[in-house]
Structure 1
């Protein structure tokens, strides 16, 4: 919830709180968002949508000199199979995932919440990340995320990547619910950044 001058503590918006659209999803898989410190306070960040919609998703902070021990310990648990969503020379493609995974283990997907340039540095400076098997998504649609300058064409934002993973693991209802939440975020974002409430009628939408 928001007050006229304070951002919502959950979605971060002041004028266009989207919490009424937030799902509360149960998934058979787990997500770990590894944040670059530059991402934490960005209004354009979509990782928070994934964390809000999937209560079991966890966030961790990446720092060059301080390893996220809690995440590393989780990766090394015997009942966990961890995947890093990141390109590599020999990735497992999303189309191959179901036949490549170990069905006896819990599936953990690690998403790097950072710009493409920051994500590459995170992997290059973290041997424990480099050691993980990489998963490469093959999205059926191009990214709808256009909120930042100098974006790498074809790359998905964090929330879109989470939606693709849910589709990949055969959870279409969860994927659709998260997509609707993300869609509302995109719908009101420009109005929020401009400092006013979103008005659908201003865009030619039919009046109710």
Structure 2
């Protein structure tokens, strides 16, 4: 028997599958995951792809010639957006007040560190013509065991949760955060004494 769960990819003792809940969403998500994130034990993109049937995840760095992605981008009657704070990005709150009439909505997320996400965006010239959107700046992440550049840095699953909650306020996407929180609690519980307090708690 493998030491790792075939579904969530985490070690069996850290498996988060019991807390994964199938959710439906009218907004489709496409996650472009940097290769360095694929096997990270604390990665969160997998939570989105396991929970949402309308979510796709592809791994790479340069997606400019990605056949499947480019096929999606050519689909008619689909509004595409890139969740990325490009200089010309607009707040997602602007979109959430828009009435969608008969067109599908698809949002592309970049899964990687800020530096690697920037490189992915630079290389993926096929995404440069897609409207860029960003989340409200007041949101704060719960990734308590990750060093982040600022307090409102969000994990990929948190970004997906806030994105969907703003675009589809009539639906409850809070179950996306349950396996995320359980994962963090498990890691903290298995840290040597004092590591979490000394390295992650604010003084």
Question: What TM-score comes out, normalization by structure 2 length?
Answer: 0.84
Counting matched residue pairs gives 190
In structure 2, the residue matched to 1:29 is 27
Q: Distance in 1 between matches of 2:143 and 2:63?
A: 31
Aligned to 1:67: 65
Please state how far the C-alpha of 1:65 moved relative to its aligned partner: 7.8
128, 131, 134: which one aligns with 1:130: 128
- Per the alignment, residue 6 of structure 2 pairs with 9
Closer/same/farther in 2, CA of residues 177 and 41 from structure 1, 3 Å limit: same
Per the TM alignment, residue 191 of structure 1 is displaced from its structure 2 partner at its CA by 4.2
SS of 1:174's partner is coil
Q: 1:64 to 1:170 in 2, by over 3 A?
A: closer
Matches of 2:184 and 2:110 in 1, distance apart? Answer: 21
Q: Distance in 1 between matches of 2:3 and 2:191?
A: 14
Aligned to 1:49: 47
Check whether the contact 1:94–1:135 (CA below 8 A) recurs between aligned residues. yes
1:109 aligns with 2:110: no
Corresponding residue SS for 1:60:
strand
SS of equivalent residue, structure 2 residue 13: coil
- Contact 2:44–2:156 (Cα < 8 Å) also in 1: yes
Q: Which runs of 5+ in 2 are unaligned?
A: 193-203
TM superposition shift of 1:99: 4.0
Rounded Cα–Cα distance in structure 2 between residues aligned with 1:65 and 1:10: 25
TM-score normalised to the size of structure 1?
Answer: 0.82
Q: CA deviation at 1:100?
A: 4.8
Q: 2-side partners of 1:182 and 1:173: how far apart? A: 19
Residue 181 of structure 2: aligned partner: 183
Unaligned runs of 5+ in 1: 195-208
1:8 to partner: Cα distance:
1.0
List per-residue Cα deviations over 1:50-95 (Å, max 9, x = no partner): 1111122111123338732101210221121111000122222121
Q: Give the match's secondary structure for 1:30.
A: strand
SS of equivalent to 1:44: coil
Distance, in Å, in 1 between the alignment partners of 2:83 and 2:63 is 22
Q: Which residue of 2 aligns with 1:145?
A: 143
Q: Is the 8 A contact 1:75 1:81 kept in 2?
A: no
CA RMSD of superposed structures (Å) = 2.2
The correspondence of residues 147-186 of structure 1 with structure 2, limited to 5 A, is 147-149=145-147, 151-153=148-150, 154-171=152-169, 173-186=171-184
The alpha-carbon deviation at position 192 of structure 1 amounts to 6.0
